[in-house]
Amino acid sequence: MDTGPAIAIRNLVKRYAGFKGGVGKLALDDVSFEVPQGRIFGLLGPNGAGKSTLINILAGMVDKTSGSAEIWGFDIDRDRRNAKAAIGIVPQEIVFDPFFTPAEVLEIQAGLYGVPKALRRTMALLREVHLADKAEAYARTLSGGMKRRLLIAKAMVHSPPVLVLDEPTAGVDVELRQQLWELVRRLNGEGVTVVLTTHYLEEAEELCDRIAIINHGRLIANEATRTLVEMAREKVVVLTLDRDLAEPPQHPAFVKSERTAERTVEITYDTDRMNAGEVLALLQAQGYAIADVVTREPDLEDVFLHLTSAPREVA
Ligand code: ADP
Ligand code: MG
């Protein structure tokens, strides 16, 4: 496969079984998107959005309710073996047998994937994740950061073209986060397509070429990172003015100006170009007196609100 998507997800639905066979949680609600080859793709969403459910379906650890998924052109139902060979998955939870050494962990995993002894890359992989000197240490003696790096090596034993990391940096310190980002970039530089889930907008922004956002099991965006970040740069100031307005005040520097009540306007501005004080000054220069002001910090929630209130084309 040269040009097709690394992963294609079509109309994926997951409803978990409910208590005593009742109707359970709809964790994925008709999700469709494609991950292009060769990139770092981010699947972003708050806790409970359905990210791990989606990854676990790709991993064959959770059964989907309906829809389909292809990995490297292989359907996960019809061509399970090839689909599995094409993907390496780093799960959200760290689980190791504490009495295995990193070298053993990789050898056992290679065995599970049927990698012949002659083709195993145990030491090369350990070097790649900077664990060569820990090859014979017990897993329980490794630091949290070392364990995470070992998990990445473990996911790569069968040299899959696609590597998926489920929340690689949730709860890790800044230094380790930087280390993991560097490792992800290096693997991607070597040609590996990377998919990572995160609930940190900043991480997706830093690392990913493209970002899909899921919220309550629904895909609400699938955009080039730059496009998405520009949305987050827009901030809203909500103003109550001293008199009724026929028209919202306008200025070329405003991204958007909307009258939301008789005396209330919401002005969207680009935080790269101006601040809330300058918005107020422009209005005062036009003769408006301002009775009240509320601003919001841009965050993931804002991007969500923006996206859910103005539905966008999703690929
Ligand atoms: P995320 O990884 O984005 O935090 P998850 O995929 O783990 O989200 O969870 C999505 C939703 O499905 C959540 O509401 C979660 O409680 C629910 N869920 C996850 N796993 C199960 C399960 N095994 N049984 C029932 N509900 C589940
Ligand atoms: Mg998760």
Q: In what order do the strands lie in the sheet with 66-71?
A: 26-35, 7-15, 66-71, 74-75
Tokens of 7: 């992963």
Q: What is the distance between the alpha carbons of residues 35 and 29, in angstroms, rounded to a whole number?
A: 18
Contact present, 210 and 314 (Cβ < 8 Å): no
Please give the full DSSP string across 19-73, using - where no structure is assigned. Answer: GGG----EEEEEEEEEE-TTSEEEEE--TTSSHHHHHHHHTTSS--SEEEEEETT
Beta-carbon neighbour count of residue 22 at 10 Å? 7
Ligand nearest to the CA of 167: 2
Which superfamily, per CATH, for 7-230?
P-loop containing nucleotide triphosphate hydrolases (3.40.50.300)
Residue in the structure block whose two tokens are 């900043």: 202
What pLDDT is recorded for position 313? 43
**Nearest atom, ligand 1, residue 217 CA:** 10
Q: What is the distance between the alpha carbons of residues 55 and 58, in angstroms, rounded to a whole number?
A: 5
Please list the rounded mean pLDDT of every run of 10 residues in the chain (315 residues): 89 91 90 97 93 96 97 97 96 86 96 94 95 94 91 96 94 87 95 94 90 93 86 85 89 90 91 90 92 75 63 42
User: What is the 57 CA–ligand 1 centroid distance (Å)?
Assistant: 12
What pLDDT is recorded for position 183? 93
Ligand nearest to the CA of 50: 1
What pLDDT is recorded for position 300? 58
> Is the CB of 19 inside a 6 Å radius of any atom of ligand 1?
no
User: What is the 45 CA–ligand 2 centroid distance (Å)?
Assistant: 9
What pLDDT is recorded for position 152? 95
> Is the CB of 91 inside a 6 Å radius of any atom of ligand 1?
no
- Numbered ranges of CATH 3.30.70.1560 in the chain: 234-297
User: What is the 26 CA–ligand 2 centroid distance (Å)?
Assistant: 15
What pLDDT is recorded for position 227? 84
Pocket test for ligand 1, best of 25, 47, 167 (most atoms within 8 A of CB): 25
Contact present, 197 and 269 (Cβ < 8 Å): no
What pLDDT is recorded for position 315? 38
**Nearest atom, ligand 1, residue 52 CA:** 2
Query: For the structural domain made of 234-297, what CATH number should be given?
Result: 3.30.70.1560
- Indicate the pTM of the whole model: 0.81
User: What is the 181 CA–ligand 1 centroid distance (Å)?
Assistant: 26
